A and B are shown apart, each in its own frame.
Chain A
Amino acid sequence: MPYGCRRGICFGCLTPLTYGRVRDLRTGEIHDRAGQMIQTCLSAAAGPLALDA
């Protein structure tokens, strides 16, 4: 999985969500749209999911 700063600054860790839900650890926002780019260094799984890494 790609990464850079690991602290939410660089957007070097963007990975498309294949299916499922993730939670943004800073804002608490839930992302669940397939194909959406996920900032993986700041996201936690919110249920079963797959990333297109």
Chain B
Amino acid sequence: MTVTPPASIETALDEDVGEELGAELDRIRSEILAARGADDARYIRTVIAAQRGLEAGGRAALAVSLFPPAWAAGTAMLAVAKILENMELGHNILHGQWDWMGDPAIHSATWEWDFLTPAEAWKHTHNHLHHTWTNVVDRDRDLGYVVFRMSADQRWRPRHLAQPLYNFVLAPLFEWGIALYDLEPDAVAAGRKTWRSFAADLTGFLAKGTRQLAKDYVLFPLLAGPSALPCLLGNLTANTVRNLWSHTIIFCGHFPGDVQTFTEERIEDETRGQWYLRQIQGSANIEGGTLFHILSGNLSHQIEHHAFPDLPSNRYAEIASRVRELCEKYGIPYVTGPLWRQYGSTWGRILRFAAPGQ
């Protein structure tokens, strides 16, 4: 739902509004920076402990998963552990949200996640390219991940007719999609990335991918002895559930129908306030309870995450009400809604832009 009817581009990017809004958002940011401390550190360490416990419990249960209840419990625990690891831990730690603690074990420079793509490759395409160029056509590769057409400003090609099908295939295989995407084959083809750096990234991916596959599909099944096959299937199920979940949360954070896209001309000479406006209007929130927010890595507060990508995720909920109030005050659309609505709206966008034109 949009809180206010979409403002015209002119209103939304009005310079004075941009400046005032920028100052108010900067104030929120510095308040959180000043307040963050021991409680926040305790929060992230608790999530890490819970994640480690769930993973250990899940792996242990899957080691005896010839016994069906152990299979069900083990798979469920491992799926939740993987979701927590990728969303609330991996994504946010790799953003540098916890660097301020000075703990080398919980730091954007050292964290490696339980995901096919190497942290290093993802930090480049996500933190740098996507977060800098959020929803700018031809600049933000995340705007359709090179495969989908998500804006009328993106040129239609016949292959876009099949994009609903791509989405069905991508969802369960999401980590593979992201790993290939992070190699930036399109940039190599366009001459924006050298073959040498592609080769280096490919080597990194092969090493990381081999470790990941060996862990879930060779090592732990072998350790499970007679339960090897159900253990392997449990790991495959957990990875697939995590893929479906992260695909859903991420697509619902940027592609519901009301989320705006931008052209390069429109962001020329963008001020800090206008940068904030673009981040807000280029994102969508998902409503839900505390547990839902944690499992989504607080990307259910995608708007706040995009405005403040390096603030600790446990703070987004309290920031959200303030950001929303500011949006109401200045008549800026704030796109939010329950998961089912954002999901339906995202599918609507995928279908709409599969056809040529608007």
- Which residues of A does B touch, CB under 8 Å? 4-5, 7-12, 14, 27, 33, 36-37, 39
Contact = CB atoms under 8 A, between A and B. Distances in A.
A5 B355 CA distance: 34
B102 interface: yes
A11 B30 contact: no
Interface in B306-339: 309-310
Interface residues of B, number: 17
Contact of A27 (B30, B99, B131, B132): B30
B95 interface: yes
A33 B132 CA distance: 29
B348 interface: no
A33 B103 CA distance: 13
A27 B131 CA distance: 21
11 contacts: A4-B127, A4-B128, A9-B127, A9-B310, A10-B128, A10-B131, A12-B127, A12-B128, A14-B108, A37-B99, A37-B109
Contacts of A37: 99, 107, 109
Nearest to A37: B109
Contact of B309 (A4, A9, A12): A9
A36 B104 CA distance: 9
B124 A11 contact: no
Given A4-B124, A8-B310, A39-B96, 10 more contacts: A5-B132, A7-B132, A10-B132, A11-B96, A11-B109, A11-B127, A12-B123, A27-B30, A37-B107, A37-B109
A11 B123 contact: yes
Contacts of A9: 127-128, 131-132, 309-310
Nearest to B308: A9
Interface in B211-236: none
A12 B102 CA distance: 17
Contacts of B109: 11, 14, 37
Given A14-B109, A37-B107, A5 B102 contact: no
B68 to A, nearest CB: 45
A4 B99 CA distance: 17
A10 B134 CA distance: 13
Contacts of A10: 123, 127-128, 131-132
A5 B99 contact: no
Interface string B109-136: 1000000000000011001100110000
B269 to A, nearest CB: 14
Contacts of A7: 132
Interface in B159-183: none
A10 B130 CA distance: 9
Nearest to A13: B128
Nearest to B132: A5
A9 B310 CA distance: 7
Q: Which 5 A-B pairs have the closest CB atoms?
A: A4-B128, A11-B96, A10-B127, A10-B128, A5-B132
A48 B131 CA distance: 33
Interface in B89-109: 95-96, 99, 102, 107-109
A36 B124 contact: no
B126 to A, nearest CB: 9
A29 B108 CA distance: 20
B33 interface: yes
Contacts of B123: 10-12
B216 to A, nearest CB: 29
Contacts of B99: 11, 14, 37
